[in-house]
Amino acid sequence: MSVENSMEKAAFAVRENAHAPYSNFKVGAAVRSVEGAIYAGCNVENISYPEGTCAEAGAIAAMVAAGETRISEVFVVADSKQPVSPCGGCRQKLAEFGAGDVVVTLANLNGVRVRMTLAELLPGAFSTNHMDLDHKDSD
């Protein structure tokens, strides 16, 4: 199976396990590490709504738990008219582990695909460059 198909399969399958009784909007995400392993995650909602987590966050957590920290590709799927668009927080979470040229494929269940880079998803991402202590007052 091609890498693209493996990621797609993982994201579609994990989406089925999403816990989304409040929004009824199930999302599946897969991230591929630079080592080539694929990690999947789904959204997990909570009756205390802000405690819910996104599919992308779950996939990232699985990757980090497995000891990997570099993302080489991302695939996200939901049952939306237009391919699902990651929320702002998840864009920043992906940018923590993926370079700007990482390809993110956004999909719906009807075969529509949009391919973007992380840099296109989050232009001007807050990064370690902005934390350069040399430019800070040392008081």
Annotated active-site positions, please? 56
Interface pick for ligand THU out of 10, 63, 77, 90 (rule CB under 6 A): 90
Give the list of residues 6+ apart from residue 13 with CB closer than 8 angstroms, or none: 28, 40
Which residues lie across from 73 on neighbouring strands? 32, 103
Interface pick for ligand THU out of 84, 95, 104, 107 (rule CB under 6 A): 84
45 touches ligand THU by CB under 6 A: yes
Which residues lie across from 77 on neighbouring strands? 28, 107
Interface pick for ligand THU out of 6, 12, 17, 52 (rule CB under 6 A): 52
14 touches ligand THU by CB under 6 A: no
105 touches ligand THU by CB under 6 A: no
Tokens of 18: 């999403």
Q: What share of the chain is helix, strand, coil (3-state, %, to 5)?
A: 35, 25, 40
Q: Which parts of this chain interact with ligand THU (CB under 6 A)?
A: 20, 23, 25, 27, 43, 45, 52, 54-56, 76, 84, 86-87, 90
